[in-house]
Amino acid sequence: MPALTLPANHPRRAELSEEVHARPPQPLTAPLSASYMVLYTGPEEQAADRAAIAALAARFSAAEPSEGATHYSAHLGPVRVIWERHTEFTRYTFIRQSGDERAPFDNPPIAEAPADWLASLPGQVIFAAHVLMLNTPDEGAAVDETAKRLFGDAELVGARIASGGAVALTSFRSHGDGFNRYLIRNRSLTPIQAGRLMRGLLEMDTYRMMALLGLPAARDLGRIMTAREQELAGITHEMADGINSDESGLLDRITRLQADIERRHSQHRYRFGASEAYYGIVQARIEELREQRLEGLQTFGEFVERRLAPAMSTVEAVSDRLESMSEHLARVTQLLSTRVALTQEQQSRLRLAAMARRAKLQLRLQLTMEGLSIAAITYYVVGLIAYFAKGSEVLGMPLDAAIITAAAVPVVALALIFGLRRVRGRLGKSAQED
Can you tell me the mean pLDDT for 257-273?
Answer: 86
Is 381 found in the same domain as 315? Answer: no
Residues paired with residue 90 on neighbouring β-strands, in sequence order: 39, 85
Q: Estimate the crossing angle of helix 191-212 against helix 247-289, to 10 degrees.
A: 160
Cβ density class 294-325: b for 16+ within 10 Å, e for less: beebbbbbebbeeebeebbebbbebbebbeeb
Of the pLDDT bands very low, low, confident and very high (cuts 50, 70, 90), residue 168 is very high
Rounded to the nearest 5°, which phi and psi values hold at 157? -125, 135
Integer Cα distance of 169 and 159 in angstroms:
7
User: What's residue 107's pLDDT?
Assistant: 86
Is 134 found in the same domain as 108? Answer: yes
Is 182 found in the same domain as 59? Answer: yes
Contact at 8 Å (CB) between 48 and 42?
A: no
Is 263 found in the same domain as 169? Answer: no
How many other CB atoms sit within 10 Å of the CB of residue 190?
Answer: 13
Contact at 8 Å (CB) between 310 and 179?
A: no
Given 349, 384, 406, the domain boundary residue is 349
State which amino acid sits at residue 378.
T
**Residue range of the domain that includes 323:** 214-349
Q: Is residue 186 part of a domain?
A: yes
Is 364 found in the same domain as 344? Answer: no
Is 292 found in the same domain as 374? Answer: no
Q: Is residue 39 part of a domain?
A: yes
Is 108 found in the same domain as 47? Answer: yes
Given 286, 317, 349, the domain boundary residue is 349
Is 112 found in the same domain as 72? Answer: yes
**Mean pLDDT of the chain, nearest integer:** 84
Residue 301 has pLDDT above 80, yes or no: yes
Three-class secondary structure of residue 158 per DSSP: strand
Instruction: Give the residue, 194 or 401, on which the prediction is more confident.
Output: 194
How many other CB atoms sit within 10 Å of the CB of residue 154?
Answer: 14
Contact at 8 Å (CB) between 211 and 312?
A: yes
Given 159, 191, 223, the domain boundary residue is 191
Is 187 found in the same domain as 218? Answer: no
Residue 109 has pLDDT above 90, yes or no: yes
Single out the residue of 146, 151, 131, 181 nearest to residue 28, CA to CA. 131
For 20-34, write each residue's pLDDT tens digit. 666 677 889 889 999
Q: Is residue 206 part of a domain?
A: no
Rg (CA), the chain: 46
Three-class secondary structure of residue 128 per DSSP: strand
Q: Tally the domains of the chain.
A: 3
Q: Is residue 306 part of a domain?
A: yes
Is 380 found in the same domain as 345? Answer: no
Q: Is residue 432 part of a domain?
A: no
Is 333 found in the same domain as 295? Answer: yes
Is 419 found in the same domain as 323? Answer: no
Single out the residue of 417, 426, 408, 429 nearest to residue 367, CA to CA. 417
Q: Is residue 270 part of a domain?
A: yes
Can you tell me the mean pLDDT for 181-204?
Answer: 93
Integer Cα distance of 336 and 350 in angstroms:
21
For 40-72, write each residue's pLDDT tens digit. 998 888 889 999 999 999 999 999 988 888 889
Contact at 8 Å (CB) between 134 and 99?
A: yes
User: What's residue 143's pLDDT?
Assistant: 67
CA dihedral 201, 205, 206, 208 (to 10 degrees): 130
Question: Which residues have a Cβ under 8 Å from the Cβ of 303 and sit 6 or more positions away?
Answer: 157, 172
Single out the residue of 139, 129, 135, 128 nearest to residue 101, CA to CA. 135
Q: Is residue 185 part of a domain?
A: yes
User: What's residue 43's pLDDT?
Assistant: 82
Residue 431 has pLDDT above 60, yes or no: no
Question: Which residues have a Cβ under 8 Å from the Cβ of 401 and sit 6 or more positions away?
Answer: 386, 389, 390, 392, 393
Q: Is residue 246 part of a domain?
A: yes
For 310-366, write each residue's pLDDT tens digit. 999 999 999 988 888 888 888 777 777 777 777 777 778 888 888 888 878 877 777
